[in-house]
């Protein structure tokens, strides 16, 4: 129930007469209501609708979803897991940035610091690393799920393409991150990887030089990979994930066995 | 003169800044859904997302305490390891590169991406949507499954069966 001006007046009137604790309660209630207009735990249909509708973060969701789309055996939760992994990677990644330094002489020492002198630094690095590996696998499995359920067919063609872009971004994020520890594994994997690029006709060699900022993997390459890894690619990823979710809603939610008609146009839900 | 019905079907609601403008005939995927098929996002979807989050975060923490991310010697441009391997998801391509650099490094990856983008424009018939491995889609699913399987086999070969000079090795020896 929304607070009316009248109720606020009575609340103010009472404040003069009543104790500090009841004043505080009113104050707290006003603060709380300014944040969440529709009370605590929603219990009825109206409250449940408003809870999603009035919250920026929840508003990514539609107010209602089909039962079929909630079946774990249908999606295997893979898209949601990919999203969760991306969030965890963003969080741990920013945290790692406090300790990391993209310098060919310093980067490796920072890795050793994470193991020895930073509190729980090894957990931080390990979570980031395993989440990154998992994300590549989960995104590929999600693509397989979408294919095997025929969920790329009209009207979802465009979202499949957004998905392909997300897959490429995921691979590029993982690949650019690979160089940052600056150990033998990192250095030679990127040396091998970027030399493959140079086999492409015409564009290959310039592309490799552009990525590395020179002829070999060195300080310039490290800075370029770092900027790609912490700014450009995560930024693009966030934008394309937003488009992906927006499109799911414009395509009327997830694919469904009872979908009808071939002239589906989609629309707001 | 015929009386025009002036009463609105959906009267204006003065609490709203928007109103129903018109009804249009058309179809979209939700048309086939009965209201009974729909449930509220709060709590049905949100609780599932929360549970998944807790499970994923928990598993990652356990993995992080049990297994350390690899860290080798500091990078040394003068000492290439033999073999130098790409990250696991590129080892299938690296395996192909060992046969032909152009095919494995350029041609096949490009073809894969182009084919993926074209899929929904080639296969547009809306049958077998919304169920796993629909019978009507056996051919398409078989094709895609084969593709995934080939990539997986190549990755396994590249990861476990390739030693110095990219020679074939057996991992358990
Ligand atoms: C970072 C990578 C990705 C994220 C975070 C992501 C996220 C999601 C989420 C949360 C859903 C809702 C349904 C579900 O959980 O399965 C979804 C659906 C979908 N995704 Fe993705 N996705 C990603 C990559 C991909 C890829 C690689 C493809 C395909 C090439 C793809 C194509 C689709 C399509 C077509 C749907 C609609 C499925 C349906 O209606 O049944 N996505 N995605």
- Is B29 in contact with A48 (Cβ distance < 8 A)? no
CATH number for the domain including A75?
1.20.810.10
Lowest mean pLDDT among A101-110, A201-210, A231-240, B104-113: A201-210
- Is A148 in contact with B132 (Cβ distance < 8 A)? yes
Distance CA A4, CA A79 (A): 42
Q: How far, in Å, from the CA of A170 to the mean position of ligand 1?
A: 13
Q: Which residue carries 């296969």 as its tokens?
A: B123
Nearest CA to A221 out of A136, A125, A117, A103 is that of: A103
Whether residue A268 is contained in a domain is answered as no
Q: How far, in Å, from the CA of A225 to the mean position of ligand 1?
A: 27
Distance CA A167, CA A140 (A): 7
For residues A93-118, average pLDDT? 95
Extract the tokens encoding B22: 């018109």
What is the SS3 assignment for A267? Answer: strand
Extract the tokens encoding A164: 């392909």
Q: What single string gives the DSSP state of each residue in A141-189?
A: HHHHHHHHTTTTSTT-HHHHHHHHHHHHHHHHHHHHHHHTT-BHHHHHH
Q: Is the peptide bond before B43 cis (omega within 30 degrees of 0)?
A: yes
pTM exceeds cut of 0.80: yes
Distance CA B140, CA A67 (A): 27
Whether residue A164 is contained in a domain is answered as yes
Per-residue pLDDT band for A268 (boundaries 50, 70, 90) equals very low
Kindly state whether residues A81 and A49 are assigned to the same domain.
no
Do B129 and A147 form a contact (C-beta atoms < 8 A)? Answer: no
pLDDT above 90 for A5: no
Close Cβ partners of A204 (under 8 Å, ≥ 6 residues apart) = A197, A198, B106
Q: Is the CB of B85 inside 8 Å of chain A's CB atoms?
A: yes
Nearest CA to B20 out of B28, B29, B12 is that of: B12
Nearest CA to B33 out of A79, A159, A62, A54 is that of: A62
| ipTM of this complex prediction, to 2 decimal places | 0.84
Q: Which amino acids bring their CB within 6 angstroms of ligand 1?
A: A 75, 78-80, 82-83, 86, 139, 142-143, 146, 151-152, 156, 159-160, 163-164, 166-167, 170, 241, 244, 248, 254-255
Ligand 1, from A73, A131, A146: best to mutate by most atoms within 8 Å of Cβ? A146
* Beta strand pairing call for A64-66 and B38-40: antiparallel
Q: Which residue range is the domain that position A18 belongs to?
A: 5-53
- Residues B93-118 pLDDT 10s: 999 998 988 888 889 999 999 999 99
In angstroms, the separation between the Cα of residue A123 and the nearest Cα of chain B is 5
Q: Is the CB of A61 inside 8 Å of chain B's CB atoms?
A: yes
Whether residue A219 is contained in a domain is answered as yes
Whether residue A255 is contained in a domain is answered as yes
Kindly state whether residues A35 and A107 are assigned to the same domain.
no
Instruction: Identify any residues that bridge with A183 across adjacent strands, giving them in sequence order.
Output: B74
Name the strand (E) or helix (H) holding B99.
none
Whether residue A269 is contained in a domain is answered as no
- Is A153 in contact with B120 (Cβ distance < 8 A)? yes
Kindly state whether residues A24 and A107 are assigned to the same domain.
no
Q: A117: how many CB neighbours lie within 10 A of its CB? A: 9
Whether residue A133 is contained in a domain is answered as yes
Distance CA B76, CA B79 (A): 6
Q: What single string gives the DSSP state of each residue in A51-120?
A: HHHT-TTGGGS-SEEEHHHH-HHHHTTHHHHHHHHHHHHHHHHHHHHTT----TTTHHHHHHHHHHTSTT
Nearest ligand 1 atom to alpha carbon A170: 1
DSSP B39: E
In angstroms, the separation between the Cα of residue A49 and the nearest Cα of chain B is 7
Q: What is the total count of domains within chain A?
A: 2
Q: Is the CB of B62 inside 8 Å of chain A's CB atoms?
A: no
Close Cβ partners of A257 (under 8 Å, ≥ 6 residues apart) = A68, B129, B130, B131
- Residues B13-60 pLDDT 10s: 667 777 777 777 766 666 656 666 889 998 899 999 999 999 999 999
Q: What's the distance, CA A22 to chain centroid?
A: 42
What is the SS3 assignment for A200? Answer: coil
Distance CA A191, CA A198 (A): 11
Percentage of chain B beyond pLDDT 70 is 83
Do A127 and B60 form a contact (C-beta atoms < 8 A)? Answer: yes
- Is A189 in contact with B85 (Cβ distance < 8 A)? yes
Per-residue pLDDT band for A14 (boundaries 50, 70, 90) equals low
Do A66 and A253 form a contact (C-beta atoms < 8 A)? Answer: yes
Q: Whose CA is nearest to atom 40 of ligand 1?
A: A254
Ligand 1, from A166, A236, A237, A256: best to mutate by most atoms within 8 Å of Cβ? A166
What pLDDT shows up at residue A267?
A: 42
- Residues A195-214 pLDDT 10s: 887 888 888 888 899 999 99
Whether residue A59 is contained in a domain is answered as no
């Amino acid at each position: 129930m929304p607070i009316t001006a009248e109720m606020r007046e009575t609340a103010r009137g009472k404040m003069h007469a009543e104790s500090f604790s009841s004043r505080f309660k009113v104050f707290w209630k006003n603060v709380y209501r300014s944040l969440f207009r529709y009370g605590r735990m929603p219990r009825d249909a109206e409250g449940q609708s408003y809870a999603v509708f009035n919250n920026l973060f929840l508003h990514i969701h539609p107010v209602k979803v089909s039962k079929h789309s909630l079946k774990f055996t249908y999606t295997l939760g893979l898209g949601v897991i990919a999203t969760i992994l991306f969030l965890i990677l963003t969080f741990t990644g920013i945290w790692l940035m406090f300790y990391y330094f993209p310098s060919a002489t310093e980067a490796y020492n920072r890795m050793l610091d994470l193991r020895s002198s930073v509190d729980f630094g090894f957990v931080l690095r390990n979570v980031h690393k395993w989440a990154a590996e998992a994300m590549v696998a989960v995104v590929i499995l999600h693509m397989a799920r979408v294919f095997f359920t025929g969920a790329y067919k009209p009207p979802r063609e465009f979202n499949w393409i957004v998905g392909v872009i997300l897959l490429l971004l995921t691979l590029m994020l993982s690949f650019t991150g690979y160089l940052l520890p600056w150990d033998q594994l990192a250095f030679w994997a990127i040396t091998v990887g970027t030399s493959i690029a140079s086999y492409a006709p015409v564009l290959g060699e310039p592309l490799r030089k552009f990525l590395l900022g020179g002829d070999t993997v060195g300080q310039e390459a490290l800075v370029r990979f770092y900027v790609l890894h912490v700014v450009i690619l995560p930024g693009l990823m966030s934008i394309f994930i937003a488009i992906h979710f927006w499109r799911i809603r414009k395509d009327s939610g997830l694919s469904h066995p009872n979908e009808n008609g071939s002239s589906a146009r989609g629309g707001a839900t | 003169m015929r009386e025009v019905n002036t009463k609105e079907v959906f009267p204006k609601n003065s609490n709203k800044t928007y109103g129903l403008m018109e009804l249009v005939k058309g179809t979209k995927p939700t048309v086939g859904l009965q209201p009974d098929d729909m449930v509220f996002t709060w709590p049905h979807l949100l609780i599932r997302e929360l549970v998944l989050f807790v499970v994923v975060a928990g598993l990652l923490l356990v993995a992080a305490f049990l297994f350390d991310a690899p860290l080798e010697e500091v990078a040394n441009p003068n000492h290439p390891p033999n073999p130098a391997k790409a990250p696991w998801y590129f080892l299938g391509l690296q395996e192909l590169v060992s046969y032909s650099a152009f095919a494995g490094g350029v041609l096949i990856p490009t073809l894969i991406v182009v084919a993926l983008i074209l899929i929904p424009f080639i296969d547009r018939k809306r049958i077998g949507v919304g169920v796993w491995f629909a019978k009507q889609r056996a051919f398409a699913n078989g094709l895609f499954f084969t593709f995934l399987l080939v990539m997986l086999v190549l990755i396994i070969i590249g990861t476990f069966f390739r030693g110095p000079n990219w020679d074939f090795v057996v991992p358990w020896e």
